[in-house]
Amino acid sequence: MEYFMGDEQKFMTCWSTIDNVYFLMNLKMKHWVLCEVQLQDWCINVYDFEQGFIKKDLYDKFMKPLCEMIPYLFLNGTTKFDRNMYHNFSLERMSYVVIPHPRVPRCTKRGDCGIFTIMYLEYLIAKLDISAVITENMNFWKQKWAVRLFHHIIDP
């Protein structure tokens, strides 16, 4: 509930004041994907840069806990007044969709899914077009993040 309720000292925003929540998820300790919970639409978008690497039934296994738990987090962390702002709120299991290519640029080099995930997160939060996050730019992004981490720079 700490994540849901927020904590200003930890730079965590309360979910009842936002429309999208992002999760980075590691599947089978082999592959990173980005999950975007759209609270207004009451669904989860999955950004997978190597579609086909993970089979549909495995997505179901990994997404089921999120799809079932988020409605109850929302119920227990908000008032009825807060929930009125989210017209599609329901205790039913949330749906999810894997956003298809070409809307999600394809990763063409194995092992770059972590950087793709981080950069998609950064672009989506900044409301930028994710089509610029492509394999040809990965060396630049890797160097950028190495410098950011070395100098403790976390702002996009």
Domain that holds residue 8: 2-106
| CATH code: domain of residue 61 | 3.30.310
**Residue 90 lies inside a defined structural domain of this protein:** yes
Number of domains in the chain: 1
**Residue 133 lies inside a defined structural domain of this protein:** no
DSSP letters for the chain: -HHHH-BGGGTB--GGG-SEEEEEEEETTTEEEEEEEETTTTEEEEE-TTTTSS-HHHHHHHHHHHHHHHHHHHHHHS-HHHHTT-TT--SSPPEEEEPPTTTSPPP-STT-HHHHHHHHHHHHHTT--GGG--GGGHHHHHHHHHHHHHTT----
Q: Going residue by residue through the chain (156 aa), what tens digit of pLDDT does each one get?
A: 666 677 777 667 777 777 888 988 888 888 888 999 998 899 999 998 877 777 777 888 889 999 999 999 888 888 888 888 888 888 999 999 998 877 877 777 676 777 788 888 888 888 898 888 877 777 787 788 788 778 877 665
**Residue 76 lies inside a defined structural domain of this protein:** yes
Burial of 47 (0-12, 13-18, 19+ CB in 10 A): buried
What was the pLDDT predicted at 1? 64
